[in-house]
Structure 1
Amino acid sequence: ITVRKQAEAELLQKHEDLQTVHEELATTEEELRTSFDDLIESQRQTQESERRLAAIIDFLPDATLVIDEDGCVIAWNRAIEKMTGVPKAEMLGRGGYAYAVPFHGEARPVLVDYILRPDGIADCPYDVRVIDGEIFEAEVDLAYPGGREASLMIRASPLYDQGGRRTGAIEIIRDITESTVMKREIECHVAELSRQANRLAAVNKKLNLMNSITRHDALNQLMILLANLSFAREAGDGQDISMYLSRMKDAADRIGRQIEFTRDYAGLGVQTPEWQRISDVIRSAAPDGLPIEDESGDLAVYADPMLTRAFANLMDNTMRHGESASRVRVRHWLEGSGGLVLVWEDDGIGVPPEEKELIFRRGFGKNTGLGLFLIREILEITGITITETGEHGKGARFEMRVPDGMYRV
């Protein structure tokens, strides 16, 4: 009996254990069912979110494509279909840079691919701007979407899931052809307006200078001429008036040279600069001047057609102010910066150190003070500068620096 009761007790305990296990299993089953329902709902919500996202991408006004981590297309919206002429059905699921073909005519990495491998951005053929460390932006000219030329603004960025894991990349493409063309047209108009403004400024400068010469310089000489004419008339019989006549002639000569300068200055910059062989210019400019040792060879410079007048004024300056000058030497050498130095030097008395810059100012000097001023104005039209670098007492040396691209040797 004892054994039987013990067996019944054990059986009862096992039944209770089984009942407990059954209840635990039922609870676990309910929890699993709840978790499964939650998972199904989560999947449904995820799918709904993906559907909404896909719909949003599909109806974005800008052409958009999305690739996964393997570089396969998972989104190809309506705008990019219209831009490229390639339907979504032909592009979804494709990899191997197939999405580049409609734009570049070949399978090759585009901006979105460098999101997946940013370490290769240095090899990107675009001029890329990096925004916030992970967004790439670039402008691409002359791409060929749909067989036409275009300018495109492209922006690519990574895509992440809710856990922060990167799942792919998205590229948005905007056609900015019209705005680019408009921008270039505006830049051209601005450049043209700037050129016109510069021309007007140059014309105004000429008018002011010629007005100054006409109203001030020439009027002063006319007053000197008339004053000496009055003195000559008032002279008594037998009185020597040669001094008055000499002053009158000097004043008349200065007026003539001033008028000649205004004629030359008015023509400055009117004609297009041209290539001119220095040897030919020298022969035309100073046929009756001092002997010239011409070492310029085949050197030609791009300058205003009045370059001959500049060299004529250099010879006139040498003959008027060189005093003991007996010859002129013309030579040149190349500079390390790519420019060229053309030198006009004589063996006269030279220029005092304190006057080396003053001689190029209008009105400075013993004559009209216009010759060297005009030379600098002529040369500056094509960026040529001139300075006096000679040693006083040994001769004047005028160095003309010609920019790179403005000379031929």
Structure 2
Amino acid sequence: MVASTSQNSNSPCKDGLLENTGLLREVYENGAVGVIVIKVATRRIVAANKAALELFNATREQLVGTICQTAICCAPIGQCPIIDWNQIVSEEEQVISRNNGRQIPILRLAKKVSVSGEEYIVESIVDLTKTKRAQEKSREYTILFSENPQAIAICDKNFRVIEVNPSFTRLFGCSAAAIKGQDAINMFTPKNFMAENIQIKQQLLSGHVACQTKRQRPDQQEINVSLYGAATSVDGNVTGYVLIFQDITEVMAAREELNILLEEQNLSLEKTRVQNEQLCVTSGLTRHDIRNKLTALTFKAYLAKNRSKDNPEVLNCLRDIEAISKNIARLLEFAKTYELLGTEELTSVNVGKMVDEAVSLFVDLKGVTVINECEEVNVTANSMLLELFHNMIDNSLKYGPPKITEIKVYAQVNAEGATELVYEDNGNGIDAQIKNRLFEKGVTTKGTGYGLWLIRRICDLYGWSVQERGVCGQGVRFVMTIPNEISNVTILTPFKKDRGY
């Protein structure tokens, strides 16, 4: 065998160590195992095949002729197991560092031989990188199998159990020895579920199965389990199956309990719906009767006023009666509106159209101009948006005079990118004393105390927030913010950034 073309005195050709046939030379030079030959007398490498050179990432010129313990061996000088300790054979696993810094696990087998009166050490070096990776993967799979909380059975292609993990023995209350060799599908199956196993096997033969079924432990306890199984194969040939069982008894019990609760809830909701429907009918009839009485009362008060023009005290009382009647009528209208809150489905609504319709409900705007800049803004809402703007306009006309001359409604984008609908007027504004409690039920200066509370409830229904940011003496400014996560705003033309006033 010839492994070096060096012509120095330590040449393997001159020593005659590698003289052999062409076949042996080919095996030596191109074999998968690295081979290095060291002359004992000089401790220098005299030959190295291609596999060895690749292992150490070196050329033949770099390796041949160097002292072995400085080039390839990690043993200190004077502590070579074969040269210094006279061992015949040395075998050990090591990690070598290549000249590029990469570390490689290897198996070294070294043996002393004698050729033509000279002693040499022949080292065979095997790269263990793939072996170590396979061992690490095997350890990972072993841990995954043994520590897995789900019950796993490994079967041959006839569904006979080869191995089970501890979770499997715990689930079925049986030792691994008693389980091995049994039909993994049929074992622990209640008699009335045996026919189902035929379908399970057919699905496994097609590739995989996923189902819910029942199994019976040796103590006769039945458990609900989920079963997942898949075929294992080598080179396209099925070698067996992996089955995974999970106890879902508690899940099934919880599901059944939930179904009972849902059924009870549905019955309760239906009962509530019927009662609510009856209540709506009753309240509607009641409101109708009360309005009739109020109409009669208002007419009587009108006649009485005409007959009492000369009696200021009586006139004042009659005016109070008319005001009280109007207030009762507003409360009845609020009750009707509140009954409808949340009953109408949300859909795409044009804000400008709602503002215009709200304005049209007023016979006299008292000289106030309404500027509507929302004609091209659509939001997800319902007809309650009309009620919202109607209440706002009503409050402006009620509390804004004599200062108010203008109402403006527009849309803008705030600093966070959220859309805001803004309603503002140039009237008297909100008293600072009630601003913090403005949207609470019953809080008012003159009215029923339900108008702004209803506005807040409508905004809550839409998922919006509403704030009053006006300045007392300069007018109101209600800002309704539509959060970014509610993607329900569409516009035909870009609208303005936050005006900041």
| TM-score, reference length from structure 1 | 0.50
The CA deviation at 1:351 is: 0.9
Pairing 1:60-79 to 2, within 5 Å after superposition? 64-66=152-154, 74-75=162-163, 78-79=183-184
Specify whether residues 145 and 191 from structure 1 end up closer, same or farther in structure 2 by C-alpha distance, changes over 3 A only: closer
Specify whether residues 321 and 194 from structure 1 end up closer, same or farther in structure 2 by C-alpha distance, changes over 3 A only: farther
- Counterpart amino acid of 1:405? I
Specify the alignment match of 2:455 in structure 1: 375
Pairing 1:141-290 to 2, within 5 Å after superposition? 143=210, 152=226, 172-174=244-246, 176=248, 179=251, 183=255, 186=258, 190=262, 193=265, 238-240=310-312, 241-287=314-360, 288=362, 289=365, 290=368
- Counterpart amino acid of 2:380? Y
Pairing 1:4-403 to 2, within 5 Å after superposition? 64-66=152-154, 74-75=162-163, 78-80=183-185, 82=197, 84-85=200-201, 101-103=207-209, 143=210, 152=226, 172-174=244-246, 176=248, 179=251, 183=255, 186=258, 190=262, 193=265, 238-240=310-312, 241-287=314-360, 288=362, 289=365, 290-323=368-401, 324-335=403-414, 339-365=418-444, 366-403=446-483
- Once the two structures are superposed, residues 17-41 of structure 1 have per-residue CA deviations (whole angstroms, 9 ceiling, x without a partner) of xxxxxxxxxxxxxxxxxxxxxxxxx
Specify whether residues 311 and 332 from structure 1 end up closer, same or farther in structure 2 by C-alpha distance, changes over 3 A only: same
* Aligned 8 A contact 1:84 1:145 in 2: no
Instruction: Measure the CA separation in 1 of the matches of 2:262 and 2:438.
Output: 37
Q: How many residues align?
A: 265
Specify whether residues 74 and 266 from structure 1 end up closer, same or farther in structure 2 by C-alpha distance, changes over 3 A only: same
Secondary structure of the equivalent of 2:379? strand
Specify the alignment match of 1:407 in structure 2: 488
* Aligned 8 A contact 2:357 2:386 in 1: yes
- Counterpart amino acid of 2:331? Q
**Looking at both structures, which has the greater relative contact order when contacts are Cα pairs under 8 Å and sequence separation is at least 6?**
1
Specify whether residues 340 and 195 from structure 1 end up closer, same or farther in structure 2 by C-alpha distance, changes over 3 A only: farther
- Counterpart amino acid of 2:201? G
The CA deviation at 1:310 is: 1.1
* Aligned 8 A contact 1:357 1:388 in 2: no
Specify the alignment match of 1:133 in structure 2: none
Q: Which has the larger helix fraction? A: 1
Structure 1, unpaired ranges of 5+: 1-61, 91-99, 104-142, 156-169
* Aligned 8 A contact 1:152 1:177 in 2: no
* Aligned 8 A contact 1:340 1:407 in 2: no
* Runs of 4 or more consecutive aligned structure 1 residues displaced over 6 Å after TM superposition: 194-199
Instruction: Measure the CA separation in 2 of the matches of 1:347 and 1:65.
Output: 79
The CA deviation at 1:354 is: 2.5
The CA deviation at 1:374 is: 1.8
The CA deviation at 1:388 is: 0.9
- Once the two structures are superposed, residues 183-234 of structure 1 have per-residue CA deviations (whole angstroms, 9 ceiling, x without a partner) of 2992795499399679969x99xx8xx99xx9xxx9xxx9xx99xx8xx89x
- Counterpart amino acid of 2:328? I
- Counterpart amino acid of 2:265? L
CA RMSD across the alignment? 5.1
- Counterpart amino acid of 1:361? E
Specify whether residues 145 and 353 from structure 1 end up closer, same or farther in structure 2 by C-alpha distance, changes over 3 A only: same
Instruction: Measure the CA separation in 2 of the matches of 1:286 and 1:247.
Output: 28
The CA deviation at 1:396 is: 0.4
Instruction: Measure the CA separation in 1 of the matches of 2:408 and 2:271.
Output: 36
Q: Which has the larger strand fraction? A: 2
- Once the two structures are superposed, residues 4-58 of structure 1 have per-residue CA deviations (whole angstroms, 9 ceiling, x without a partner) of xxxxxxxxxxxxxxxxxxxxxxxxxxxxxxxxxxxxxxxxxxxxxxxxxxxxxxx
Instruction: Measure the CA separation in 1 of the matches of 2:264 and 2:408.
Output: 42
* Aligned 8 A contact 2:409 2:424 in 1: yes
* Aligned 8 A contact 2:467 2:479 in 1: yes
* Aligned 8 A contact 1:361 1:373 in 2: yes
| TM-score, reference length from structure 2 | 0.42
- Counterpart amino acid of 2:449? G
- Counterpart amino acid of 2:400? G
The CA deviation at 1:405 is: 2.4
* Aligned 8 A contact 1:275 1:302 in 2: yes
Specify whether residues 196 and 328 from structure 1 end up closer, same or farther in structure 2 by C-alpha distance, changes over 3 A only: farther
Instruction: Measure the CA separation in 1 of the matches of 2:431 and 2:320.
Output: 28
